């Protein structure tokens, strides 16, 4: 049976809108991750060192920072509180330029920075599988997002 033109238009409209939602999720996940990930991945020329966490508030932990190379220890350096940051912990960090804010360095820091993208991949997989009816692509996106989340959990 032939489909009429309005049925084809509705089908194309559904596919375009679902693709736009999936793309919006991925762009938002990337944008959320990039704010922190850029300091971890592009750390050349930035200040590296070790942060000893002394006190944790509701959203931020503070402590003393011992930089690599010349320079003395500084106090009052802040890092975002997460399950991997607790009082007394010694963390390898990179300092955001022009601030007293640090982010985790190395592989654990990179995985932690990309967590929002991992969540966005999982959400987009539902849209791709259900709305676009592309199950293989959805499974691949879900596997990538899940691997990122599990990798960050194991690294931290």
- Residues 120 and 28: beta-carbon distance below 8 Å: yes
Six token digits for residue 36: 């922190």
Q: Which residue would you say has higher pLDDT here, 149 or 71? A: 149
Give ∠ CA 35-37-39 in degrees, rounded to 5. 85
Mean pLDDT value of segment 37-42 = 93
Residue 8 lies in a domain: no
Do 92 and 125 share a domain, yes or no?
A: no
Residue 9 lies in a domain: no
> How many domains does the chain contain in total?
2
Instruction: Express each pLDDT in 51-82 by its tens digit.
Output: 999 999 889 999 999 999 887 888 889 998 88
Do 78 and 94 share a domain, yes or no?
A: yes
Query: Which band of pLDDT confidence, cut at 50, 70 and 90, is reported for residue 2?
Result: low
Do 56 and 35 share a domain, yes or no?
A: no
pLDDT of 1 reads 58
| Cα 117 from Cα 84, distance rounded (Å) | 19
- Position of tokens 């940051």? 85
The CA distances from residue 127 to 20, 32, 136, in Å, are 10, 20, 12
Residues 6+ apart with CB under 8 A from 69: none
Six token digits for residue 109: 């820091």
pLDDT cut 70: percent of the chain above it? 99
Boundary of a domain, candidates 65, 89, 104: 104
Domain with 72, as residue range(s), is: 46-104
Residue 136 lies in a domain: yes
| Cα 140 from Cα 129, distance rounded (Å) | 10
Rounded to 5 degrees, φ, ψ at 71 are: 115, 145
Six token digits for residue 126: 């539902």
Query: Which band of pLDDT confidence, cut at 50, 70 and 90, is reported for residue 31?
Result: very high
């Amino acid at each position: 049976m032939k489909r009429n033109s309005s049925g084809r238009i509705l089908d194309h409209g559904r596919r375009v809108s679902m693709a736009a939602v999936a793309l919006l999720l991925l762009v938002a996940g990337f944008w959320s991750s990039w704010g922190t990930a850029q300091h971890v991945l592009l750390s050349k020329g930035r200040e590296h060192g070790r942060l000893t966490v002394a006190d944790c508030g509701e959203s931020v932990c503070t402590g003393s920072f011992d930089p690599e190379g010349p320079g003395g220890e500084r106090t009052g350096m802040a890092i975002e509180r997460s399950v991997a940051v607790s009082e007394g912990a010694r963390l390898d960090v990179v300092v955001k330029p022009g601030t007293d804010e640090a982010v985790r360095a190395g592989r654990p820091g990179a995985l932690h920075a990309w967590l929002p993208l991992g969540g966005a991949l999982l959400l987009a997989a539902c849209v791709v599988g259900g709305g676009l009816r592309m199950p293989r692509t959805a499974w691949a996106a879900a596997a990538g997002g899940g691997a990122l989340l599990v990798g960050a959990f194991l690294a931290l």
